Amino acid sequence: MHLRLSEDEFATLIDMVSLAAEISSLNQRPGSEDHFGRFEDLEDKILAKAKEQGFGDIVEIDKERNKHRVTVDYQAASYIQECIEEMRNEVFWEELSLRLAERDLVKEIGEYTYQNLSDEERVNRLTPGQTRYWEQFSKTGVMNVHLVSPRGTG
């Protein structure tokens, strides 16, 4: 198979493949090694070709893995890093909002009732609380987050 790409398109492909491999490497679940290996092998193949095609200033060999990768300096200043940081930020706030909404709902209706809600009922009951937390965090970040310990626990 042959694919013709402009230099700009090839640069975008380098970013896309590197971003996909970077995100894939975060999956540490048992059995994910094969999938990550395929991502890593394709990244290596494309980056080897990129080095041949004049992108050698942003591609290097990872001596530990003996595979091509974009340089640390390139990644740090690239769209790749921007995407990773934004993903981490969004996942953090979404997860925090969801967990706090779950905590509040369990306090309100009890663990047993919460566990017996259907998925649809759970989502419907959690959404208002999660939205409230999301809106607050969007405005103030962690400025209004405080840990209140029960008396006598430190």
Residue 12 in tokens: 């975008």
Kindly state whether residues 14 and 62 are assigned to the same domain: yes
Angstrom CA distances, 30 to 65, 88, 118, 143, stand at 20, 22, 29, 37
Kindly state whether residues 91 and 63 are assigned to the same domain: no
State the residue range of the domain holding 32.
7-76
**In angstroms, rounded to a whole number, what is the distance separating the alpha carbons of residues 78 and 121?**
42
Q: Which of 28, 53, 76 is the last residue of a domain?
A: 76
Per-residue pLDDT of the chain (154 residues; tens, 9 = 90+): 888 999 999 999 999 999 999 999 888 889 888 888 899 999 999 999 999 999 999 999 999 989 999 999 999 999 999 999 999 999 999 999 999 999 999 999 999 999 999 999 999 999 999 999 999 999 998 888 888 888 776 6
Kindly state whether residues 128 and 97 are assigned to the same domain: yes
Helical spans, DSSP H, in the chain: 7-25, 33-50, 72-76, 79-109, 111-115, 119-140
Query: For the whole prediction, is pTM greater than 0.75?
Result: no
Strand partners for 61: 68
Asked if residue 110 belongs to a domain, the reply is yes
Asked if residue 15 belongs to a domain, the reply is yes
**In angstroms, rounded to a whole number, what is the distance separating the alpha carbons of residues 21 and 86?**
17
**In angstroms, rounded to a whole number, what is the distance separating the alpha carbons of residues 89 and 97?**
12
